A and B are shown apart, each in its own frame.
Chain A
Amino acid sequence: MIILLLISMLFDDSLALPQQTISDAQLEFFETDVRPLLADHCLDCHGPKKQWAGLRLDSRTAMLKGGDTGPAVIPQQPDVSLLIRAIRHEDEDLQMPQDDKLSDRQIETLVQWVAMGAPYPDAPLTGKRFRDPEHWAFQPPVAVQVPEVLDKTWAQSDVDRFVLARLEAEHLNPALMADRRTLIRRVTFDLTGLPPTPEEIASFLTDERPNAYAQLVDRLLASPTYGERWGRHWLDVARYADSNGLDENVAHGNAWRYRDYVVASINADKTFDRFITEQIAGDLLESASDDERHQFLIATGFLSIGPKVLAEVNQPKMRMDIVDEQIDTVGRTFLGMTFGCARCHDHKFDPIDAADYYGLAGIFKSTRTMDTYTKVAKWHEHPLKTPEAAAMLAAYDGQLAAKKQEIATLVAQANESARSSLPGLQAPPESLESLYPEATKTELTKLRDELATLEKTPPELPSTMGVMEDEIADVAIHVRGNPSKLGDVVLRHLPPVMHGPTMPTFSSAQSGRRELAQWLTDAQNPLTARVLVNRFWRWHFGEGLVRTTDNFGLLGEQPTHPELLDWLARRFIADGWSLKAFHRLVLNSSTYQQSSVAAPETIDRDPENRLLGRFRVRRLDAEEVRDAMLQISTALDRTMGGSLLQVKNRAYLFDHTSIDKSDYSSHRRSLYLPVIRNNVFDVFQLMDFPDPAVPTGDRSTTTVAPQALLMMNSDFVMQAAADLAGQLCGETEDTTARLSKLYQLTLGREPSEPERIADLAFLQQVNQSFQGSELDDQIRSLKSWSVLCHTVMASSEFIYVQ
C-alpha cells in the first residue's frame, strides 16, 4: 500500500529528473510492471539476441540511442517517444508488437514510465534492491563473535548476550524475571499445549533444587504431550489436512499416518536433517526393517497432502498445478522462498528465474504423486505390508477359499446324484446343472452371489499417501505458465543464487529428490537452518527474529538480531539438528524467563518488543483453548494417534448436499480432530487455526466478536463449565475451597480477597436470578457455579499466557 501511495505521489509530482536517479518506488514500479512487460513483448526482437531495425530495448542507454528511425524514448515526453507511438499503433508502418497490440493498461504503464523519465536501473543492482544475489539470506551464516555485555549477571547463556547487547546499545534494561507461577504456566503451555495441574504447580513452587526450572523443562520435553504440541507446529507448515479441499473435498483417509509420524519424530528428537530427508525422499532411502521402510513411505506424505483441483479437466494443467504446489510448499517450508511466481515469469523480487523454477519442476514432474488424472483424479497410496495387512489378507484369502470350496463340494455332490439319476445309456449333457433339483439350484446361486460379493469387497488394506519415482524427465519452460506453450527444456538444477551448498548433479535414473534433500540439509545451505531456527524462535516467543517466517526473500523483513540468527543456525547444526537441544538452549535463557511487564520506558521506546526487553503476552492457540477446557473439566481423553475421520478414504466430506459429515464430538486432544479443508472446525476457525491449504509458520492472532460469541454461547464451552462446576460442587460444600480449586485449575493461582468477595456476590446474584425458575436449591447452586466457571473460562487471564 505504501509503495502504491509513493507511486501515485510520484505521478502527481511534476518534478522532472534530468539524469537517472531512481527512487525505490520507481524501482519497484519498473521491476513490477515495466520490466516484465518489456521482457514479454519487446526483448525477443529488440534485445540481446536480435536487434531488429538496429534497436535494443534492454537498457536505458540503448533506448535513448534508439535504432534506425531514431531514439526510441525521449524521457518525460511519452507522446513524441517512438516507443509509445509504436505501441499505440499511431503510425501505419510502425505498429508494435506486430502480432498482438498491448492492452490499454499495458500501454498506460509504459506511458507513465516514460513520463516519469524512463527510470531504468543499470545492472547490476546492489544493496536492498530487487533480485539482489547479494541479499543476506542467500549467503551462508557466518561464525559470529558473542558480544560483550556490561551487565555480567543477567545473561545465563550466549543467547542472552546477543539480546542484552542490543538492549544495552539502546540504553534499555530487560524486564525482571517472571515469578515461578508465571513460568510454569508459560513453559507448560509452550511445550505441551496444556495447562499445568495444581499438583505440578505446587511441586515446582516448592522445588528447592538450584536447577528446578531446568528440571521442569526436561520433564516437559520427555512427556509425549510435547510431541503433540510441537508436532502440530510442524503440521501447520506442512499444510496438513484430512481432506483435499478445493473443488472435490474428499477424505485423505490415510493422512493421519503422516501426522502420527510427525508426532513420533518430534518426540524422538529425530534430527531435523533426517526428518527433512525422509519427507522429501523417504521412498528412496535404504531401510533396516519393514517398519522403518513404512515410516519412510509415510513421511513422503508431506509431498502428497497438498490441495489439488481433482476435477480439473485440463490434465496437463492439473499435473503442473500439483508440481507447482509441491515446489511452493518445499520453497516456503525449508527455504522461506516463494517460488510460485517464477512459474509464469522470472521472479520480480527475488533472483529466481523461470528457468530455476522449471529446474525444480523437473524433480517433481519425475515424481509420481497421482495414479490417474481423469476427473475425479486419484492420488497414489503406498500399500503398507504390515503384519496386520498380512493377517487381513490371509483371512480374506481364507474366506475366498472356503466359499469356493463350499461351492465345489455342493457341485460335486449334486453332479454325483444327477449322474446317478440319469438313465443308463443316455450321454450326460455338457453341464449337469440343468438336472439339479430346484433347491440345489437356489442354494448354488446364493453361494455364487456371496462369492461375487466377497470378491468385489477385498479388505481395505493399510496404505499411506505418498510419492514414488515416475518417468525421469527434464521439463520445458512453460511460457507464462501455460502447459501448452512450451519453450526450452531446462535441466534439473537448484537455484544457483543460494550460495554455499554443493550443487548436486542429477542422474537420468532418479527424480533428484534425494539430491534436493542433501542440498537442503547441507550445512552450507544459507536458508534451511536459518528458516528452521527462526520458526522455532517464533513458536517460543510469538514473533520470529525475522517476522516474515515464511519469506526470507527480498520482500521479507530483515532480522532484528542478525548475528543471533546466524549463531543459532550454526549452533543448531553443531548440535546435530536437534530440536530438543534448541529448546534447552532457549528456554533456559534469561530472555525467555523475563516477565511480560516491562518498564514504561521500554514500552515507550520499543512498543513492538523488537528488542526482546520483555516476554510477549500470548493468546492460547485454538487447540490449547479447547484442550485446556477439556483437561480442566477432566474430560480430556489422552489416547494418542489414529484416525477420527467418520467417512471412508476418498469419500466426500462435503458434496453438493452441503450436509456436514464432519464430527468433532470426540474428547481426544485437538491435534487428533479431523482437519477438513474448506470447512475447518468452527471453534478452530474462529480462534485463528491456519488455513490448512497453505504452509503457515506464523499463525495470526485476531480478536473479533464471533470469538466472544463462541465463548459466551457455544455448547462446548458451556458443557466444559458445567462439568467443572459439577466436579467442584461434588468435592466440597465449602465455598472458599471451591473457589480456590476453580482458580487453581483455570488460572494456576489463588483468588485474591477482592476477587473472592466479587465472585461470592456474583454467585448470589445469579442464584437469585434463577429463583423465579422452578429449580431446587441444589440445582440452582450448581447452575450458579456453572455460570461462574463459564465466566472464568471466558476470561482473558485464562485465554492468555503471560
Chain B
Amino acid sequence: MASLLAGSSKATDAVAAGQRALRLPHFPARAKRIIFLFMSGGPSQVDTFDPKPLLTRDDGKPLPFAKPEIQFNATSNLLKSPWRFRQHGESGLWVSELFPKLAAHVDDLCMLHSVHGTNPAHGGAVMKLHTGSDNFVRPSMGSWVSYGLGTENENLPAFISICPTLAFGGINNWSSAFLPAVYQGTALGNASIPSDKAHVKYIHNARLPREIQQLQLERLEKMNRDHLARSGVDASLEARLASFELAFRMQSELPRVEDLSTESEATQRLYGLDNPVTANFARMCLMARRFAEAGVRFIQVTHNDDKVQWDQHSDLKPTHEKNAREVDQPIAALLYDLKARGLLEDTLIWWGGEFGRTPTAEGVGPSAGRDHNQEGFTMWLAGGGVKGGFRYGTTDDYGYFAAENKVHIHDLHATILDLLGLDHERLTYRYAGRDFRLTDVEGHVVREIYR
C-alpha cells in the first residue's frame, strides 16, 4: 500500500515509495500528535499568565533598566495590567481574569514563561516560529514532523492548518520548502474565511455527480494503465495512478472529518458553537479534535481576524478582552474533551503567539496599548508528556526580558520534536549540498518540563 500512496520526486523514486508511510520515531515518543493554537499578533504575557506585582506598583514610572537595542515601535513608561490575577487549581498557577474557563484547567498546563525570539516584526517572528528561519524560505515545523513520522491515516494529509493567515510569510508557514511536496501542510480556508466555509481546495466537485465521477475515474484508470504499458516501467506514472485512488478516498474522508453535525449538541455547546462570539474558533477547535482522533499528526489552528488579532498597540483593554472571550471557552473545551477521550495523554497542545508584548505603554490614556516584545513572553503546553500545573522559566520583575531558564524559539522547536520522538539534530534533509534541520545549528531540549 505504501508504494501506492507515494509521491515521487525525481531520482528518489525508491525512497519516495515510502514517503507518506508511517515511520518509527528516533526514540519512544511522549506525544503522537500536536495541536498548535496559534494566537496571531502576540498576546501579552503580563496580562494573561505572568503577573508582575512590581509592574502594578510602578505603573507610570520609567522602566528601571534599558530597553532592548532593537525595538519595533517606541514605548514610554510602565503600564500595569488592567486585569486581576488569581491562583487556580491545586498547582496554584496564576491566570488573569481574561481566561476564566481555561483557568479551571491550569493543572494540565505547563507554562513556559521565558520564551524568547529574535525578530520584533510580525513577518520575521511568524516565519521564525513556524519555520525556524526569519529570512529564508524553510520547511515549516509541521512539514518536518510529517517528514519524520509519516502519516497515521493514509486517507488524510499528515499536516493540516485551519484558517491560517496569508500574511507574514503566508503559505511558507505551512509549506514544505525543499522537503518533498507530500509533506506540505494542507490548508483549510484561510484567516479571511469563516471556519464553517473553510475547506481544502478542490476537495469537492460542484459540477459532477459522484457516480459519474466514479465512472470517469474508472475510464481514466484504464487509459493510464494502457499508457503505462506502452511507455514501459516508470515509477512516476505508477505513482500517478495511485495518486488518483488516494485523492478519491481523501475526497470522502476529509469532509466526513470536517463535518461537525454528527457531534452531540452537548459537545457543540461545550465548545461554544451556539454562541456567536465563540462559534468561529470553537468550530476550529472541534475540528482539530476530530483530526487528532483521525490520526493527523500536526494540526494548527490560527486565531486571527481581519486585523492582526492579538496585536494591541492600542486599545489593549477592550481588544484583548474581546480576543480572550473568543478563545477561552473553545480552548477549555478542547482540553476537557481530549482528556475525557483519553487523547490528552499522547496529544500535545501548544498555545502562543509569535511574540509577547512590552510591559511599557504605547500611546497614553485609556486607549494605550503595548508594543511587540520578542525578548520574553509566555507560551504553554499541555498533555503529550509534559508536566501539568507546572511553570518553567521566568521573566524579569516587570516581564520584559526572559530571565531564568530561557527558552528560545529554537529550544522550543527542539523540545517539541523531542516530545514527538524526534531528535532535532538527527532530523535532517540534504538539499543544495548540505544537511538542513528545523533548528539549524541551535536548539536545546528542555527536559525539565517532562512528566
Given A654-B166, A658-B190, A702-B9, A791:B237 Cβ within 8 A? no
The stretch of A136-144, A157-165, A243-251 in contact with B is A243-251
Give Cα distance in the complex from A555 to B203, angstroms: 41
B428 contacts chain A at the CB level, 8 A cutoff: yes
Tell me if A740 counts as interface (CB < 8 A to partner B): no
The A752-800 residues at the B interface (CB cut-off 8 A) are: 755, 758-759, 762, 765-766, 769-770, 773, 787-788, 790-792, 794-797, 799-800
Scoring B134, B172, B241, B311 by chain A CB atoms within 10 A of each residue's CB, the highest score goes to: B172
A702, B70: Cβ atoms under 8 Å? no
In the complex, what residues of A have CB within 8 A of residue B220's CB?
A: 791, 794-795
Which residues of B239-257 are within 8 A (CB) of A? 239-241, 243-244, 246-248, 250-251
| B433 x A708 contact (CB < 8 A) | no
- Closest B residue to A243 by beta carbon equals B170
List the A side residues contacting B226 at CB < 8 Å: 755
Residues of B within 8 A of A617 (CB): 231, 234, 236-237
Question: A375–B121 contact, CB under 8 A?
Answer: yes
The answer to whether residues A769 and B209 also contact, given A691-B137, A706-B186, A713-B202 and a CB cut-off of 8 A, is yes
Q: Are B227 and A796 in contact (CB under 8 A)?
A: yes
Is A59's CB within 8 Å of the partner chain B?
A: no
Interface size on A, residues (CB 8 A): 91
**Is the pair A700, B127 in contact by a Cβ cutoff of 8 Å?**
no
Query: Is A422 located at the chain interface by the 8 A CB criterion?
Result: no
List which B17-55 residues lie within 8 A (CB) of chain A. Answer: none
B10, B165, B244, B304: the one contacting A712 at CB < 8 Å is B244
**Chain-B contact segment, one of A68-76, A449-457, A543-551, A729-737:** A543-551
Assess whether B197 is interfacial by the CB under 8 Å rule.
no
Inter-chain contact B212/A769, CB cutoff 8 Å: yes
Shortest CB distance A556–B (Å): 6
Contact, CB under 8 Å: A551 / B432:
yes
Residue of B168, B203, B426 touching A4 (CB-CB under 8 A): B426
Give Cα A645 to B104, complex, Å: 51
Which B residues lie within 8 Å of A555 (CB)? Answer: 433-434
Establish whether residues B433 and A706, one from each chain, have CB atoms under 8 Å apart when the complex forms.
Answer: no
| Interface presence of A1 (CB below 8 A) | yes
In the complex, whether B177 has a CB less than 8 A from a CB of chain A is yes
Interface centre among A3, A307, A313, A555 (most CB of B within 10 A): A313
Q: A548-B433, A712-B205, A791-B220 are in contact. Are A702 and B246 (CB under 8 A)?
A: no
Q: CA–CA, A551 to B211, complex, Å?
A: 50
Shortest distance in angstroms between B238's beta carbon and chain A's nearest beta carbon?
9
State in angstroms the CA–CA spacing of A556 and B134 once bound together: 26
Question: CB of A704 within 8 A of chain B?
Answer: yes
Contact between chains at B246 and A708 (CB < 8 Å): yes
A134 within 8 A of B: no
CA distance A679 to B164 in the complex (A): 12
* Cα–Cα distance between A729 and B127 once the two chains are bound (Å): 51
Q: For A246, give its contact among B11, B123, B209 (CB under 8 Å).
A: B123
Is B66 interfacial (CB-CB < 8 Å)? no
- Taking A691-B177, A702-B8, A795-B224 as contacts, is the C-beta distance between A658 and B192 under 8 angstroms? yes
- Is B356 interfacial (CB-CB < 8 Å)? no
Interface residues on B, range: 35 or more
Complex CA gap A781/B127 in Å reads: 51
Q: A660-B166, A709-B251 are in contact. Are A797 and B227 (CB under 8 A)?
A: yes
Residue of B whose beta carbon sits closest to that of A344: B441
Question: Distance in Å from the Cβ of A173 to the closest Cβ of chain B?
Answer: 15
Interface string of A644-678 (1 = CB under 8 A from B): 00000000001111111000000000000000001
Nearest CB in chain B: distance from A722 CB, A: 9
Q: How far is the CB of A546 from chain B (nearest CB, A)?
A: 12
Instruction: Using A551-B433, A709-B247 as known contacts, say yes or no to A770 and B212 having CB atoms under 8 A apart.
Output: yes
Least CB separation from B8: chain A residue: A703
Determine if A349 is an interface residue (Cβ-Cβ < 8 Å): yes
B169 at the interface (CB under 8 A from A): yes
Residues of B within 8 A of A349 (CB): 433-434
* Given A658-B191, A794-B220, A705-B246 contact (CB < 8 Å): yes
Asked if A714 CB lies within 8 Å of chain B CBs, one says yes
Q: Could you say which of A77-85, A423-431, A516-524, A595-603 contacts chain B?
A: A595-603
| A796-B227, A800-B237 as given contacts; A766 in contact with B9, CB under 8 Å | no
Among residues 259 to 306 in chain B, which have CB atoms less than 8 Å away from a CB atom of chain A? 304, 306
**Contact status of A657 and B170, CB under 8 A, knowing A313-B70, A548-B433:** no
Contact A694 B137 (CB under 8 A): yes
Interchain CA distance A4-B444 in the complex, whole Å: 19
Contacts of A770 in B (CB 8 A): 212
Q: Would you call B243 and A712 a contact (CB within 8 A)? A: no
Residues A655 and B167 in contact, CB atoms below 8 Å apart: yes
Q: Is A312 interfacial (CB 8 A cutoff)? A: yes
Q: Is the pair A309, B120 in contact by a Cβ cutoff of 8 Å?
A: no
CB contacts under 8 Å to A, within B45-75, are: 70-72
A619 at the interface (CB under 8 A from B): yes
Please name 22 pairs of A and B residues whose Cβ atoms are closer than 8 Å in the assembled complex, sorted by A: A245-B170, A338-B433, A548-B433, A551-B433, A617-B231, A619-B236, A655-B167, A657-B307, A658-B165, A660-B192, A679-B166, A688-B181, A702-B9, A703-B236, A704-B243, A705-B244, A709-B250, A712-B202, A762-B219, A765-B215, A773-B209, A796-B237
Residue numbers of B with Cβ under 8 A of A are 5-11, 70-72, 119-124, 127, 134-135, 137, 165-172, 175, 177, 180-182, 186, 190-192, 200-205, 207-209, 211-213, 215-217, 219-220, 222-224, 226-228, 231-234, 236-237, 239-241, 243-244, 246-248, 250-251, 304, 306-308, 311, 426, 428-430, 432-435, 444
Q: Which 4 A-B pairs have the closest CB atoms?
A: A247-B123, A678-B170, A555-B433, A708-B247
